[in-house]
Amino acid sequence: MKKIVILIIVFFSYYAAAAQGLVSIQLENATVNELFEVIEQQAGCRIYSDPEDIEDIRVTLSRENETPLKVLERAFEGTNLKITPYNNILFVAQSRRLVASLPLIFKKKEDKGAEEDSIFVAYDVSRFLLQDDDKKQKLISETKVYEIGNARKKRSGMVTLSGNITNYRSEEPMAGLSLHLNNSTSVVTSDANGFYSIRIPTGRQELNVKGYNLKDTKIQLMVYENGVLNFGVEEVMQALTEATISAERIANVRSTTMGLERVKMQDIKNIPTLFGEVDVIKVVLSLPGVKSVGEMSSGFNVRGGATDQNLILFNDGTIYNPSHLFGVFSAFNPDVINSMELYKSSIPAKYGGRISSVLDISEKEGNKDKVGGSASVGLLTSRVTLDGPIVKGKTSFIVGGRTTYSDWMLKRLPEKSGYKDGSAEFFDLNAGVSHKFDERNSLQVNGYYSYDRFSFTDKQKYSYRNTNVSAKWRRIFSEELMGSFTGGYDHYDYSTKDTEIAYRAYSLDFAINQGFGKLDFLWKAADKHTLDFGLSSIYYSLNPGEYLPYGDESVARADKTQREKALESALYINDTWDISDKLSVSLGIRYSIFNVIGSRTYNTYNPDYLPSLLTITDTKTGSGIFKTYHGPELRGSIRYAFTDDFSVKAGVNTMRQNIHKISNTTVMSPTDTWKLSDANIKPQTGMQVAAGLYKNFFDNLVETSVEGYYKTMDNFLDYKSGAELTMNHHLETDVLPMTGRAYGVELMVKKTRGKLSGWISYTYSKTELKQDDDRAADPINRGVWYPADFDRPRDFKFVGNYKLTHRFSVSVNCDYTTGRPITLPISKYIYQNGQYVYYSDRNAYRVRDYFRMDVSFNIEPGHRLTKLTHSSLSFGVYNVTGRKNPYSVYYVTENGNLKGYQLAIFGVPIPYVAYNLKF
Amino acid sequence: MRKRRIYTVQIASKAIVSLLFLVGGVYSCVTEYVPDGLEKASSVMVVDGLITNEISYFKLTKTVGLLEDINDIEVISNASLYIERDDGVLFQNTSYLGNGRYSVETEDLDPSRKYGLYIRSEGKEYRSEFLEPIITTAIDRINLSKAAAGEPVYVCVSTHDSSDKTPYYMWQYEEIWEVHAQLFGRLGWLPGTVLEYKVYDRNTSDNMHHCWGRDTSEVYIGAADKLAENVVIEKKLKGIEAYNDRFTVMYYVKMQQNQLRKEAYDYFYNLRESVEESGGLFPPMPTNRKGNIECISDPNTNVLGYVEVSTTAYKEHYFPEVPDIHETPPYVNECPTVYILRDSLLLDVHPPRYAPVDTLWYAFVDGPGYCLYLEVTDYSCVDCRLKGTKDRPIGWPTNNY
């Protein structure tokens, strides 16, 4: 939204040699923008101007081999436009805008700087410089030496520098920027709140700041003692945001973290999507190592994990159903999302509770400066977002809403999908307030509500809701210690009403309630040690099912399962130890304790047999904490950097999970319910070891990586055929513990800047399951390893964006994967006067390979900064080749014979148009 | 989740209509699927039937490959089978009825004993689990239900039992319906002659106008386990189009009901679910659920089926009111008749292409003599045997023969 550039640039009175390249140009009555484009292309420089100034000017010009400055001077002869070069940049502005005064940033130290003899001239290209600038973070200057601490208190050795980085204009925190010193391979990354803390030696230092949409910035420091440096940075003018995904150009090589994918929303909006809906989950699916069963499935599988093994956090709250409309869209409004992080491998010790991955999504903070917003009209949904200050510079708000009109699309689904005759609606609402008490204390309160309703007929209705509220107080205790305190409440419920047959009419309700609190600290304990530590607690209260008669005629038997309560607590500590510039180790331990809380009754079973109603030995009543599972989770990683841009890493982590999805389908379905570990159901455990090579090329322009992993999963649940999944008072009799293993290699090449940006990845991976409990009478596939439903070994992904001009770009998205495994009937027979089938071993066959290519064209308007609104248009085609990728295979009896069909959900090219408006 | 095919009408706004134009086409596609490299499954015996009072029927067949013709299914005609009671009594009065069907006389089942089926076939021995018989409750009512014009007609069944008895049920019914040819053909060709005809009598069975169709339904299952009372009210079994021949004159249903234990119900339910709900968006994991029969001579030999032990309750009902719910078929055979000189039919192939309806003697105006014209039409218009048989059920309540 805030891609508007503001430049307050300070430069020396002597002009640096401007652009090096020479320009040959021939123009007839051209616009100034055309002129600029030619010069920029030939000379490799950048030209900035105020569009208002150049709007009406037409240029006719013919020059040979001249410097850009000369060309421009010639071009603007007779106008009042002045050209001012600065390094490799040329500013074109009316001469009255040349301000011969010191900019605000230097007021305090104007005569104490290192370059005392420099004469500063402020060049105000912008008419947007705010007068009440004192409240704002200062824009960092590259030419200024910042003094940290008092020279008289000068210490030697290492000190801590910390502070907040904000977007200079919007004052939004800048997350995910990497900071590192020259000549050092250790790097720190600003967190979601823009906070950073780095250990640096005293003396003259050069700190590099890099990030998305940010020109690599060098900050000159004179360090005497511990200190705070808060600063603002400018996002670089980019007419079109690139489809880049990671800011971690250097961090990918230098941090000890492996398998982290960081995505900033504004960077992905050009990725072509189904129906033009920007969708975080679909972006997650375009990352290596992430797979799904099919296009209409809302869950995703990370490195062989099941769909319920991903912890999905939205502003620290847990989201149990991340989808709208059976998985067509994700439940997150893209306009309110700031960024998201997907941890596939090294899961930081502060996260726990799921064994496969963590997807941490954070909401934007409202603009503390002025009111803005955005609106979007799509084929299926519309959404609007508004943000702005409540108290200027201190308190801001953001609200967003989204709704749908998607019934028409359901009509186009195949009969077999079961939704063809249905109707559906959904909406979601977001609200957030952030307040900054002072430089050291800030508070953020967020709320989220999503609602989905659908029906197959007017007599069968389904609905589900996510509700989350959370508050987070962040405090900087000192330069070395920072903490955050988070509390919140999450709710998920699901409800069915079936009035098809009056006397059997019923309602079925399910709900998860959880309250949570967390304390997280970051402590720069010593020169080479950074400690993360904290504790967290979640109190669960589940209503596993309430089945009630509905209507007067109904004789349905009211049935209520026992409420499940539990307390899941964890303590963690992690030390990141920079042994040397080259070698860094991160070691953490998380101890998790799960208390099952009564009172409720439960059965005990003969341990020699699988639990069943025939092997019950006793029925007990547990009260208070009647069962506890606890254990350590290990998180460790190590990194050795051979050079600045080449490193190897290895890591290991173990995880525990105490909440299990109850579903006998392979995908996440809207009617899934969840179950806590209890006296009979043990926690799932997972272990992953991974290693990788990371190498950047061309000054970090191209990043490459190879990561391999091996993963095991234990005690996760599969269901006996015919298992009763709802209203089951003794679920342990219908489940079977499974063992899983997954391994693979992920190759990735990523280009984050330039005209062409994007990534290519190739993954080879296997995911296999085994039912090896000796007590199982008839184990799946006789107890041998078999491929999981999402075992799709070969996987090629390409996401690219090519900027044709500043305003037009083309994005292409390709996805090739091996077809999903399926269980096919291999023979048929007549039984009870009907035809039935006999199945092969589970997942013994595969559907055809999956291939899809999407294309989009994105048009941004000119940068008329004065315009009140800013709109963009994108149109594209989903599944350009129209390949009929099979989602499933099924058999129906036709004329007495079984006939097989395959169902492709989106089997033709689907064009779309999306219009976005920002104000 | 169960999905039902009920059509609802939605009003689309103009905006949405125009979007549809923009989007065009149908997104999803269903294409035929022929798996390649499908393994050749070994043929497995299928035991279909249950142990019940008086006579128990079993059908022994074998599975066929998925792509083979179901009509080529192999029946087992030379098996020996009997029913065992857990006190050692054997019921060995077994007859082979042909087409893989066997009957075993069992007398009344003793509720305090357990029963099992023994089979010996192709050198292997099989035995079903010994189970106590379930004494099935009576059927309360059979009725037909049609929601609205154009909707199918359902055969419905109602029953109830004390709620502490098993709430799982199985139904199967025989149906008989009277059906008439569209036109009454007063004449019929005499077999074995060349265009000799006879005159039919509507009031005896010597006609081709009144016929009876018969069918046996599939097996339906139902459960009242979620209800406070063990009751089934108007459970819809088969849905049949309202223009079906069944509903033209008289319709008869003989329903049989068996109560099932949970294991049997789950087995039957799983079979249906894995066919009906496969391929949807949220399909259940297909599985081969084990039945209650085992090969006792070779544990590695697979066998399919669940042999329930349950007495059978019957109820029959005539539906003389069916002409009221009958609807005009979407396509009607007009049955035009034409008059043709009898002699010109001689040139016709044998047997004749047309069926005679009536005669017309035509007297020449300008001379003596007559010539015989025959009113003829298509066989399907006058011969009811294309829709049923002349086998009139005993005690059929109409006066048609």
pLDDT per residue over A573-629, tens digit each? 999 888 888 888 999 999 999 999 988 999 999 988 888 888 999 999 988 999 999
- Residue B30 sits at the chain A interface (C-beta within 8 Å): yes
| Mean pLDDT for the stretch of residues A887-900 | 74
Say if residue A397's pLDDT is above 90: yes
| Mean pLDDT for the stretch of residues B59-72 | 86
Say if residue A835's pLDDT is above 70: yes
Instruction: Please tell me the distance from the alpha carbon of residue A189 to that of residue A180, in angstroms, as a whole number.
Output: 9
**Chain B residue with Cα closest to A546:** B226
Contact B10 A415 (CB under 8 A): no
Q: Which of A393-402, B15-24, B143-152 has the lowest mean pLDDT?
A: B15-24
| Mean pLDDT for the stretch of residues A328-335 | 83
User: A651 and A690 in contact (C-beta within 8 Å)?
Assistant: yes
Q: Residue A417 CA to chain centroid, in angstroms?
A: 30
- Residue A825 sits at the chain B interface (C-beta within 8 Å): yes
- Residue B41 sits at the chain A interface (C-beta within 8 Å): yes
Residue B158 within a domain: no
Token pair recorded at residue B158: 């109602």
A393 CB-near residues (< 8 Å, 6+ apart)? A132, A135, A136, A171, A368, A369, A436
Token pair recorded at residue A899: 């006939």
Instruction: Please tell me the distance from the alpha carbon of residue B384 to that of residue B379, in angstroms, as a whole number.
Output: 9
* Long-range Cβ pairs for the range B286-291 (8 Å, 24+): B286/A823, B286/A825, B286/A839, B287/A721, B287/A839, B287/A842, B288/A838, B288/A839, B289/A721, B289/A722, B290/A778, B291/B47, B291/B267
Q: Encode pLDDT of A761-814 as tens digits.
A: 999 999 999 988 888 777 888 889 999 888 989 999 998 888 888 788 888 989
CA-to-CA separations, A322 to A248, A265, A887, B305, in angstroms, rounded: 26, 17, 21, 42
Say if residue A131's pLDDT is above 50: no
Confidence of residue A414 (pLDDT cuts 50, 70, 90): low
Instruction: Please tell me the distance from the alpha carbon of residue A289 to that of residue A764, in angstroms, as a whole number.
Output: 9
Say if residue B347's pLDDT is above 60: no
Confidence of residue A670 (pLDDT cuts 50, 70, 90): low
Phi, psi of A121 (to 5 degrees): -130, 130
Instruction: Please tell me the distance from the alpha carbon of residue A568 to that of residue A541, in angstroms, as a whole number.
Output: 11
User: A412 and A393 in contact (C-beta within 8 Å)?
Assistant: no
Say if residue A516's pLDDT is above 90: yes
Residue B121 within a domain: yes
Q: Residue B13 burial by CB count (10 A; 0-12/13-18/19+): exposed, middle or buried?
A: exposed
- Residue A899 sits at the chain B interface (C-beta within 8 Å): yes
- pLDDT at position A103: 34
Helix residue spans in A660-762 (DSSP H): none
Interface A-B: count of C-beta contacts within 8 A: 251
Instruction: Please tell me the distance from the alpha carbon of residue A454 to that of residue A422, in angstroms, as a whole number.
Output: 7
Q: Encode pLDDT of B226-257 as tens digits.
A: 899 999 999 999 889 999 999 999 999 999 99
Find chain B residues with C-beta within 8 A of A505's C-beta: none
- pLDDT at position B26: 46
Phi, psi of B18 (to 5 degrees): -70, -30
Q: Which of A464-468, A662-666, A681-685 has the lowest mean pLDDT?
A: A662-666
With b meaning 16 or more CB within 10 Å and e meaning fewer, what string describes A583-596? Answer: ebbbbbbbbbbbbb
Q: Which domain holds residue B112?
A: 45-133+289-307
Say if residue A236's pLDDT is above 80: no
Of B8, B35, B70, the CB nearest to A457: B8
Q: Encode pLDDT of A699-728 as tens digits.
A: 778 889 999 999 999 988 887 766 777 888
Residue B179 within a domain: no
Residue B366 within a domain: no
Confidence of residue A895 (pLDDT cuts 50, 70, 90): low
**Chain A residue with Cα closest to B5:** A421
Q: Encode pLDDT of B314-344 as tens digits.
A: 999 999 999 999 998 888 778 888 887 776 6
| CB contact residues (below 8 A), chain A span 195-234, against chain B | none
Give the Cβ contact number of residue A476 at 10 Å: 21
| Alpha carbon of B8: minimum distance to chain A alpha carbons (Å) | 6
Contact A836 B271 (CB under 8 A): yes
Angle between helix A32-43 and helix A68-75 axes, rounded to 10 deg: 170
Say if residue B126's pLDDT is above 90: yes
- pLDDT at position A115: 34
User: A340 and A880 in contact (C-beta within 8 Å)?
Assistant: no
Mean pLDDT of chain A: 80
Q: Which amino acid is at B338?
A: V
Domain containing B99 — which CATH number? 2.60.40
Token pair recorded at residue A179: 């900071």
Q: Which of A43-47, A271-275, B212-216, B363-367 has the lowest mean pLDDT?
A: B363-367
Length of chain A measured in residues: 919
| CB contact residues (below 8 A), chain B span 288-327, against chain A | 288-290, 304-305
A262 CB-near residues (< 8 Å, 6+ apart)? A176, A245, A246, A247, A248, A339, A340, A341, A342
User: A891 and A834 in contact (C-beta within 8 Å)?
Assistant: no
Q: Which of A532-541, A587-596, B22-31 has the lowest mean pLDDT?
A: B22-31
**Chain A residue with Cα closest to B47:** A831
Q: Which amino acid is at B340?
A: I
Instruction: Please tell me the distance from the alpha carbon of residue A129 to that of residue A6, in angstroms, as a whole number.
Output: 8
Q: Residue A106 CA to chain centroid, in angstroms?
A: 38
Torsion of CA B45, B47, B48, B50, to 10 degrees: 180
- In a 13 Å sphere around the CA of A450, the CA atoms on its Cβ side amount to 22
Say if residue A10's pLDDT is above 70: no
Spell out the domains of chain A, with CATH numbers in brackets: 1-128 (3.55.50.30), 130-237 (2.60.40.1120), 260-393+400-699+709-918 (2.40.170.20)
Q: Which of A277-286, A489-498, B50-59 has the lowest mean pLDDT?
A: A277-286
Q: Tell me which of B2 and A877 has the higher pLDDT.
A: A877
**Parallel, antiparallel, or unpaired: how do β-strands B80-85 and B115-121 relate?**
antiparallel
Q: Encode pLDDT of B130-170 as tens digits.
A: 999 999 999 999 999 998 888 899 999 999 998 789 999 99
- Residue A415 sits at the chain B interface (C-beta within 8 Å): yes
A585 CB-near residues (< 8 Å, 6+ apart)? A256, A576, A577, A579, A636, A637, A638, A639
**Paired residues of A628 in beta bridges:** A595
DSSP A213-262: TEEEEEEEEEE-SSEE--EEEPPPP-SS------STTTHHHHSS--SEEE
Residue B125 within a domain: yes
Say if residue A257's pLDDT is above 90: no
Contact A671 B290 (CB under 8 A): no
- pLDDT at position A408: 66
Closest CA to B292 of B276, B306, B302, B272: B306
A752: left (phi over 0), alpha (psi -120 to 50) or beta: alpha
Q: Encode pLDDT of A12-23 as tens digits.
A: 323 333 335 788
| Mean pLDDT for the stretch of residues A307-318 | 91
| Mean pLDDT for the stretch of residues A67-92 | 76
Q: Residue A721 burial by CB count (10 A; 0-12/13-18/19+): exposed, middle or buried?
A: buried
Q: Is the dihedral of CA B214, B218, B219, B221 positive or negative?
A: negative
Phi, psi of A427 (to 5 degrees): -155, 160
Instruction: Please tell me the distance from the alpha carbon of residue A856 to that of residue A877, in angstroms, as a whole number.
Output: 6
Give the Cβ contact number of residue B351 at 10 Å: 12
- Residue A14 sits at the chain B interface (C-beta within 8 Å): no
**Chain B residue with Cα closest to A895:** B70
Give the Cβ contact number of residue A727 at 10 Å: 18
Say if residue B25's pLDDT is above 80: no
- pLDDT at position A785: 93
A420 CB-near residues (< 8 Å, 6+ apart)? A410, A411, A413, A414
**Paired residues of A678 in beta bridges:** none
| Alpha carbon of A896: minimum distance to chain B alpha carbons (Å) | 7
Find chain B residues with C-beta within 8 A of A845's C-beta: 35, 38
Mean pLDDT of chain B: 83
Domain count, chain B: 1
Phi, psi of B226 (to 5 degrees): -95, 5
Q: Residue B270 CA to chain centroid, in angstroms?
A: 21
Confidence of residue A492 (pLDDT cuts 50, 70, 90): very high
Say if residue B296's pLDDT is above 80: yes
DSSP H or E stretch at residue A693 = strand A684-697
- Residue B230 sits at the chain A interface (C-beta within 8 Å): no
Sole residue written with tokens 């009647």: A626
Instruction: Please tell me the distance from the alpha carbon of residue A297 to that of residue A282, in angstroms, as a whole number.
Output: 10
Q: Which amino acid is at B130?
A: F
Residue B225 within a domain: no
| CB contact residues (below 8 A), chain B span 252-291, against chain A | 266-272, 274-275, 278-290
- Residue B7 sits at the chain A interface (C-beta within 8 Å): yes
User: A427 and A450 in contact (C-beta within 8 Å)?
Assistant: yes
Q: Which of A38-52, A435-449, A667-681 has the lowest mean pLDDT?
A: A38-52
- pLDDT at position A110: 36
A182 CB-near residues (< 8 Å, 6+ apart)? A205, A206, A208
Confidence of residue A278 (pLDDT cuts 50, 70, 90): confident
Phi, psi of A827 (to 5 degrees): -150, 170
